[in-house]
Amino acid sequence: MSDEDDVRRLALALPATEERTAYGTPAFYVGRRMFARLHDQPGVLVCWRADLGEREALLQRDPSVFFTTAHYDGHPSVLVRLERIAPAELAELLQEAWEARATKRLLEAAARERSDSPDAAG
């Protein structure tokens, strides 16, 4: 349901995000910290989580979408099968990954911007 173009569009819509290359694949950074990257396995995204508990919750919730490998043991990231995740859920996942890696200053600025937006008054 989602693809690499969705990842790029959604990730780059997040504040202070830029695309670079990591491990030979497109990766998305907030400042100097990577929060997501396309895996070398086609159709798979590596997405950071705030902690291992969040990762485990996703793995338990839907193993057809979320998985991991031994390489990521002890690392707070999850692998995502893009063809099995809806764009809205992917957007939420990327937002959470961004929040897990952004600096406190960026998080505060993003929160201020959201509270100042006309949609927030709704």
Give the pLDDT confidence of 75-100 residue by residue, as tens digits: 999 999 999 999 999 999 999 999 99
The predicted model gives 101-115 an average pLDDT of: 90
Residue 121 predicted with pLDDT over 60: no
User: What are the phi and psi torsion angles at 49 (to 5°)?
Assistant: -120, 165
Residue 73 predicted with pLDDT over 70: yes
The predicted model gives 90-111 an average pLDDT of: 94
With bands split at pLDDT 50, 70 and 90, how would you rate the model's confidence at 110? confident
By three-state DSSP, how is residue 40 classified?
A: coil
Predicted TM-score (pTM) above 0.85: yes
Give the pLDDT confidence of 13-22 residue by residue, as tens digits: 999 999 999 9
Instruction: Determine how β-strand 25-30 pairs with β-strand 77-81.
Output: unpaired
Give the pLDDT confidence of 32-68 residue by residue, as tens digits: 999 999 999 999 999 999 999 999 999 999 999 999 9
> Running DSSP on this structure, what letter comes out for residue 72?
G
User: What domains can be seen in the chain, in order of their start residue?
Assistant: 4-121 (3.90.1150.30)
